[in-house]
Copies of this chain bind each other. A is one copy, B any other.
Amino acid sequence: MPTPKAASSRTPDATRRSERSRRAIYDAALALVVEVGYARTTVEGIASRAGVGKQTIYRWWPSKSAVLLDAYLDLTGQAGQEAQAGREGGEEPTEPTEPIGPAGPTAPAGLPDTGDLAADLKAVLRATVDELNDPRFEAPTRALTAEGVIDPELGARFVERLLEPQLQLYVRRLAAARDAGLLRPGADLRVAVELLVGPLTHRWLMRTRPLTHAYADELVDHVLQGIAPR
């Protein structure tokens, strides 16, 4: 039996409208920061491009940096979900897409643990390489990373909400391997993680050399050698 229209349709419609606005705002925010840079991106500009009123944005976010941060987290979260769906539902198993840097999808589920630490880390870093080379991510990631480099407050929020949780996923995966006796007991896992993520990010940010799967593999091999049991 259909429910009466007047009673039921209002909330779903409002939710749909809100969701449409939110999506338009995110798209506009990311497009603008890529096109004109962080400094010239304004809440007014985002509102105008998204076709919403400025007050709609201020109802949900206190500042442009808050909108941009949520828009970017949404973008990286989408990539994480796509990768997850690929892993779980696809006919061919795809590589897990997990993150580093203020670059890359959030991965609340943790890094893969097949028991083969080197293979797991390589899969994760290769996926990160693919993402950093994907224009959909590259441009906004560069724009926001650059702003975080000069604006300590924005940088700290990115680190807190995106980078640090991701680094901790690596630390946990390495800790599991260490507890299984696969790594030297006293190895500093935090430094090991920075040795994986740091050079990859540096090469990408500075564009010193191409960012390839082979490079990701080399980093993993090198770092694991440094913390292998003696």
Contact = CB atoms under 8 A, between A and B. Distances in A.
Interface stretch (A24-32, A85-93, A148-156): A148-156
3 closest residue pairs by CB, A with B: A198-B199, A198-B202, A198-B198
A77 interface: no
Interface of A: 37, 39-40, 101-102, 142-143, 145-150, 152, 155-156, 158-159, 163-164, 167, 188, 191-192, 194-195, 197-203, 205-208, 215, 218-219, 222-223, 225-227
A207 B156 contact: yes
A167 B209 CA distance: 12
B222 A191 contact: yes
Nearest to A188: B218
18 contacts: A37-B39, A37-B150, A39-B39, A101-B206, A102-B206, A143-B150, A148-B206, A163-B206, A163-B208, A167-B208, A191-B215, A191-B218, A191-B219, A198-B200, A198-B202, A199-B199, A225-B225, A225-B226
A33 to B, nearest CB: 10
Contacts of A191: 199, 215, 218-219, 222
